[in-house]
Amino acid sequence: MSDPVLMLEGLVRRFEQAGEVLEVLRGIDFTLNPGELVALVGPSGAGKSTLLHAAGLLERPDGGRVIIDGTDASRADDGVRTRLRRATIGFVYQFHHLLPEFSAVENVMMPQLLAGVSKAKARARANDLLDLMGLGPRADHRPARLSGGEQQRVAIARALANRPGLILADEPTGNLDPETAERVFQTLVSAARDQGVAALIATHNPELAARMDRRMRLEHGRLDRAA
């Protein structure tokens, strides 16, 4: 069997707030295998975003290790972490964070161009992904001319652009009405299954969480298997 796409070992993260130390992650252990879809649940403020940012190499933990595709990123320098992140991880945020000056297709091309893919190849892949998201006819629109659900589907296409083994999603449907949330979530799950991508998805929506392979609950700084 191949390496897990993500392993967290004894992950610790602390913040200082008003002179007090808040230990948000108190030794988190977690393994995500290739193609697995896992929901990350837990009360507001429990540290789901903090966990995703550390797992996604956007921030360094205060203790423990983050191992991506068998590579220990904990002690790697920033350059190595950035390359590893670009090559293996796709992020989807609650607010899409698309670049407003660029069209949908250009937004999906961007991470590929940063990774050194040619313009022609990046455009072809971006168009394929937008088709997969049902957004082919909207490819040349800027984000402001797309609905919230369409913007979020562009963000999912962008996250998949570099064929990551791992998608980290932070309440990807939290900002959408229930019907649109359902459609966007379905698109994310079927795209991940279709492309064999593993995903860790933070969500407050129990119905959506119930449809993942596993659910993990973060509370009081600990991560445990949930029902």
Ligand X SMILES: Nc1ncnc2c1ncn2[C@@H]1O[C@H](COP(=O)(O)OP(=O)(O)OP(=O)(O)O)[C@@H](O)[C@H]1O
Q: Are 196 and 33 in contact (CB under 8 A)?
A: no
CA angle in degrees (0–180, nearest 5) for 124-161-36: 135
User: Which span (41-49, 102-110, 126-134, 145-153) binds ligand X, by CB under 6 A?
Assistant: 41-49
Q: In the window 48-107, what residues touch ligand X (CB under 6 A)?
A: 48-50
Per-position x/- string for 18-37, each x denoting binding to ligand X as judged by CB under 6 A, each - no binding: ------x-------------
By C-alpha distance, which of 86, 8, 19, 84 is closest to 50? 8
CB of 15 to ligand X, least distance (A): 3
Among 10, 45, 196, 206, binds ligand X (CB under 6 A): 45
C-alpha span between 192 and 117 (Å, rounded): 22
Q: Which is nearer to ligand X, 109 or 208 (CB)?
A: 208
Q: Which is nearer to ligand X, 21 or 227 (CB)?
A: 21
The secondary structure element, H or E, covering residue 206 is helix 206-210
44 makes contact with ligand X (CB under 6 A): yes
Among 47, 56, 143, 172, binds ligand X (CB under 6 A): 47
CB of 71 to ligand X, least distance (A): 24
CB of 27 to ligand X, least distance (A): 16
Q: Which is nearer to ligand X, 119 or 220 (CB)?
A: 220
Maximum C-alpha span of the chain: 53
* Alpha carbon separation from 74 to 11, 23, 71, 83 (Å, rounded): 10, 19, 9, 14
Which pair of tokens denotes residue 96?
A: 């899409």
C-alpha span between 28 and 224 (Å, rounded): 9
Q: Which is nearer to ligand X, 48 or 125 (CB)?
A: 48
Q: Which is nearer to ligand X, 58 or 110 (CB)?
A: 58
By C-alpha distance, which of 93, 57, 98 is closest to 170? 93
CB of 46 to ligand X, least distance (A): 4
Residues that bind ligand X (CB under 6 A): 15, 17, 24, 42, 44-50
